[in-house]
Structure 1
Amino acid sequence: MPKAMFDHLKEEKKQQIVQALFEVFKNNNLLTVSVKEIVEAAQIPRGSFYTYFENQADAYDYVLEIVLKRVHESMRAKNPFQATKVFIETIQENTDREFLRHYYVINEAILEASKEEVPQQQTAELTDKEWLASVAVHHLIREFFLNPADKPEILARLSALEDFL
């Protein structure tokens, strides 16, 4: 997550940096992206990058959090199975599509391998049924990005799970 200095930037400058990070990370994976690419895209000095973030993974985590908040916000207060079907059906129009594809296909495994302990999702406030739905839809979204040709089967599984739960 960004260091405190990032929070003190003017909103316009923050958005410029976030947009640059998004563009760099939607087209590159964490093993190949360089700080040089990031600072060139963000139009900031290299030292400023390290004033705002620890490293590339820290910057990536920040952008990932923003993207996941957008996705979850679009699904809030809806049937999770129906919301996931709509998400998959409309993914071609989603501005986060390439970022998410890189995340599920490449970067998720890199992040998990680089962390000693993967934090567990807060589940205390979820019922067993809500927890199961959450796990199922996240798994099926990942499956979709890994195997887009399996879209009909994934949508069918979502329907079956919805009927089951």
Structure 2
Amino acid sequence: MPKEVFFNLSDEKREKIIFVLKEEFKAKPFQKVNVKEIVEKAEIARGSFYQYFENLEDAYFTILEKETVDIHGLFMKIFLLKDKNLTEALVEYGKEIADIIFDENAYMIYKNRYLYWNEDLNRSWESSHKHQEELFQDMSMDLEKIHFIKSIVHSLIERLFRESWNKEQFIEKYIKHLNWIEKGVIYGNC
């Protein structure tokens, strides 16, 4: 998250920096974004960048927090709204994820996140989001089951970008996988 000094900037300057960060992280994977280009486009000094953000990861996570939806938090919200009915929650979740990812303003940020995320980014992200597993435990959910479902959903999202699926294709594959989760791969309708 940005440092306090970032929030003391004028709205105009703060919005310009956020705009530049968003455009950079939409245009390129994290590994190809650099501070030099950001400060030139935002018309700020390099030292100012480090007054506003701890590092490039911090700036990236700021954009992810601002421009994307926490899909794990979204699932928990839907799960509670569906009175902890896992099947109903997963059906609704798939529809909402499709709407979120295929929004033209966020599509490239999600694409770069899912195709180019690496272990270093994952460690940093997880260390700042440890509270999520605690929330699942608080809701009396089997964490192994949650990790299993997360791996399937994350894999489908990654595949939608790798294989260039449209929204309808994603939903079709999501429903097929959901059927396998519910009925088992052997007995699920293929």
Global fold match (TM > 0.5): yes
Q: Which runs of 5+ in 1 are unaligned?
A: none
**Change in CA separation of 1:48 and 1:89 when aligned onto 2, cut-off 3 Å:** closer
Quote how far apart the aligned CAs of 1:37 are: 1.4
Given candidates 79, 84, 106, the residue that maps to 2:94 is 84
**Change in CA separation of 1:128 and 1:40 when aligned onto 2, cut-off 3 Å:** same
Matches within 5 A, 1:48-59: 48-59=48-59
Instruction: Quote the Cα distance in structure 2 between the aligned partners of 1:90 and 1:31.
Output: 24
Aligned to 1:97: 107
SS in 2 for 1:54: coil
Quote how far apart the aligned CAs of 1:24 are: 0.5
Instruction: Quote the Cα distance in structure 2 between the aligned partners of 1:80 and 1:146.
Output: 18
TM-score (norm 2): 0.66
Instruction: Quote the Cα distance in structure 1 between the aligned partners of 2:115 and 2:74.
Output: 22
Moved more, 38-47 or 138-147: 138-147
Q: Match of 2:178, as an amino acid?
A: L
Aligned to 1:126: 139
Quote how far apart the aligned CAs of 1:99 are: 0.6
Aligned to 2:15: 15
Residue 3 of structure 2 corresponds to residue 3 of structure 1: yes
Quote how far apart the aligned CAs of 1:73 are: 8.1
Q: Match of 1:54, as an amino acid?
A: E
Aligned to 2:158: 146
Quote how far apart the aligned CAs of 1:8 are: 1.0
Q: Match of 2:156, as an amino acid?
A: F
Q: Could you say which structure has the larger radius of gyration?
A: 2
Moved more, 19-28 or 139-148: 139-148
Is the Cα contact below 8 Å between 2:100 and 2:106 reproduced in 1?
no
Q: Which runs of 5+ in 2 are unaligned?
A: 82-88, 185-190
**Change in CA separation of 1:11 and 1:69 when aligned onto 2, cut-off 3 Å:** farther
Quote how far apart the aligned CAs of 1:25 are: 1.0
Q: Match of 1:128, as an amino acid?
A: M
Aligned to 1:158: 178
Q: Percent identity?
A: 27
Moved more, 30-39 or 51-60: 30-39
Q: Match of 1:146, as an amino acid?
A: E
Is the Cα contact below 8 Å between 1:2 and 1:59 reproduced in 2?
yes
- The higher relative CO (CA closer than 8 Å, separation ≥ 6) is in 1
